[in-house]
Structure 1
Amino acid sequence: MAAEGGWRPAGGRRRRRRRGREEEEEEEGGGAVLRRLREARNDLLSSGFWAASAGAVRAPLGGTAEPPARCVCYGLGRFSCCPAARHQLAFLLLLLEELGVPPERCSVFDPAFSAQEAAALVELGLRLLPDNEEGKHGIEGLATLFYMVHCGKALYNNLLWRNWSPGALSKMVIVGNSFKGIEERLLSRILERDYSYIAKVLKGTEEVVLPAHPQYLDTFNDTSVHWFPLQKLKELSPEVWDCVEEPTYQECEIIRKGDGAEQHGPAAAES
């Protein structure tokens, strides 16, 4: 048979078509990712999950937390091919709108991002962090929202260590794994040994869990909004603030900075 552009052997034709499909997918990839993201947003809105969650995400503002001036997001995962990650990203974008944080003031990082996903995030107006911070992001005096759904415990522990003072912690809101759940699931000696900053801040934490929804049981399970009222932090023992030793881990679920995690390309997904 004659193929467009002349005769081709059957095998060559199949290879040509396969390459054509790959090139076509690459060309439309960004648009397809953004289209699926809009669909995920519509799902969150039409299901009622976002409306049910709005009270939880605004709870810190009804307390003592400052409205966030910026946002840092870790651990979204492969949202181009994973529906759960895509819904988590859509939730983040709704969250930024709700709290009045411009997209350009939201920084994101995940070592698994492909080049296509990184480009889609930039198109959304978000900022890509250039390096793997291992969660050690200082707020530098600015009220900051940290969006860390389903991240490892070491990342939360590192974040607390980096901002270990009543003044800094009181300017933070963390949307991520329930600290109460971490406390319930871990033996006290393990929590205090391996994740000491989580252990020490528990009594200074306010937490509101996101509502359960049958459509998102795996996507947002065990997810809470956490904040740290200054008055509660000041009521903690003064000794709590004396130890500021940087955490080290023997066994934990964290990708180290030296493990190639700085990449945003396909190689990073294999790290």
Structure 2
Amino acid sequence: MAAVAEALEPWSTVAPRRKRAAGRRPRRDGGQARGPQAEPEADSEAVLRRLREAEEDLRISDFCHSALETITQCLRKQLEQLQALAEALGRLQLDLSPGGSGEPLPMSAFPVKCVCYGLGNFASCVTARTQLAFMLLFLETCQIPRSHCWVYDPLFSQTEVSVLTSLGVTVLSENEEGKRSVHGQPTAFYMPHCGTALYNNLLWSNWSADALSRVVIIGNSFRGLQERLLTRILKENYPYVAKILQGLEELPLPQTPRYTDAFNDTSVHWFPLLRLEALPRELWASREEPDYQNCEDLEMIRKPTHCAGQV
């Protein structure tokens, strides 16, 4: 347990200094927000200044402190799980080595990556800017280097790409549609108010107990999706969300009037390995890629497709 405690120490939450719709629909107006939170897009320096202000407002809020506690609690549990697995594998390696002279696996801390989808136009939308500011505080609190963070939204303007690059995160050049595998690396997916198809695609891309045990999703409440969608629609259109409901642990972020637009219906989801391994074996056998041909309200911008023979 001492090794586990040492590995977990960097995850201590930093103490603070002194219902929007659940699915983010693709905007048809070029990404410009409307209503009282809409602002004209400014230049990079002005956007950075507004972002810093949003970050400092969040930093001193009770919401931020409580929300970060919730997220780090899930990450801590995941790290404990991976640490225990590594120790078990180390002991197995010793047992299988001739004469028991094998070297145990290293007990180094597990570096965590962050992938963010669906922020929207934070240069002109207060809600999106608040969500980005919270992500930066999350990276800081969990000591995830910004160089280990990848961000994408098909609606980003050139100004927003420039701002994100200056912040030290990597802006993806391709619309992955959420289909990113963790490749054995613990990864936190920050997906505030994304469409259900993005979560479904992400689950499909990591459809194994080993991969999902390394995934944390900060986004729309899966339990809320289950309550709002007809069972038939959930199973037909978003089968991987439907199938994983019994294999996850969900902790809702705290609700506060000030940040309702930004974090309404938002939860942290992680996937305990024991729960995943208890699911029926046949559940993992079906891995058909989602196509959404019969989905009327997709809430996701698809990547461009090219005709056969087109360069």
Fold similarity call, TM over 0.5? yes
Query: 2:154 is matched with which residue?
Result: 111
Query: 1:140 is matched with which residue?
Result: 183
Any idea what the Cα deviations from partners look like across 1:117-148, whole Å, max 9, x if unmatched?
00000000000111000000011111101000
Contact kept, 8 Å, 2:78 with 2:214, in 1: the verdict is no
Q: What is the distance in 2 between the residues matched to 1:171 and 1:238?
A: 19
Contact kept, 8 Å, 1:207 with 1:225, in 2: the verdict is yes
Query: 2:277 is matched with which residue?
Result: 234
Query: 2:223 is matched with which residue?
Result: 180
Query: 1:197 is matched with which residue?
Result: 240
Query: 2:53 is matched with which residue?
Result: 39
Query: 2:100 is matched with which residue?
Result: none
Any idea what the Cα deviations from partners look like across 1:81-123, whole Å, max 9, x if unmatched?
1000000000000111111110011000001100000000000
Query: 1:267 is matched with which residue?
Result: none
Give, in angstroms, the shift of residue 63 of structure 1.
2.1
The reply on whether 1:219 has 2:233 as its aligned counterpart is no
Higher-Rg member (1/2)? 1
Contact kept, 8 Å, 2:152 with 2:171, in 1: the verdict is yes
Query: 1:155 is matched with which residue?
Result: 198
Query: 1:245 is matched with which residue?
Result: 288
Q: What is the distance in 2 between the residues matched to 1:226 and 1:125?
A: 26
Q: Which piece of structure 1 moves more, 30-39 or 65-74?
A: 65-74
Give, in angstroms, the shift of residue 68 of structure 1.
5.3
Distance 1:243 1:101, change over 3 A: same
Give, in angstroms, the shift of residue 49 of structure 1.
1.5
4+ residue stretches of structure 1 with deviation over 3 A?
Answer: 64-68
Alignment of 1:64-83 (within 5 A): 64-65=78-79, 69-83=112-126
- Compute the TM-score of the two structures, normalised by the length of structure 1: 0.83
Q: What code does the residue aligned with 1:87 have?
A: T
Q: Which piece of structure 1 moves more, 59-68 or 211-220?
A: 59-68
Q: What is the distance in 2 between the residues matched to 1:138 and 1:203?
A: 21
Contact kept, 8 Å, 1:204 with 1:228, in 2: the verdict is yes
Give, in angstroms, the shift of residue 47 of structure 1.
2.6
Query: 1:3 is matched with which residue?
Result: none
Any idea what the Cα deviations from partners look like across 1:28-79, whole Å, max 9, x if unmatched?
7111111000100111122322112122111213423456521110000000
Q: What is the distance in 2 between the residues matched to 1:177 and 1:61?
A: 18
Query: 1:99 is matched with which residue?
Result: 142
Aligned length: 235
Contact kept, 8 Å, 1:68 with 1:99, in 2: the verdict is no
Which ranges of structure 2 fall in alignment gaps of 5 or more residues? 1-39, 83-109, 307-311
Query: 1:18 is matched with which residue?
Result: none
- Compute the TM-score of the two structures, normalised by the length of structure 2: 0.73
RMSD: 1.7
Q: What is the distance in 2 between the residues matched to 1:240 and 1:116?
A: 44
Q: What is the distance in 2 between the residues matched to 1:34 and 1:68?
A: 28
Q: What is the distance in 1 between the residues matched to 2:167 and 2:221?
A: 28
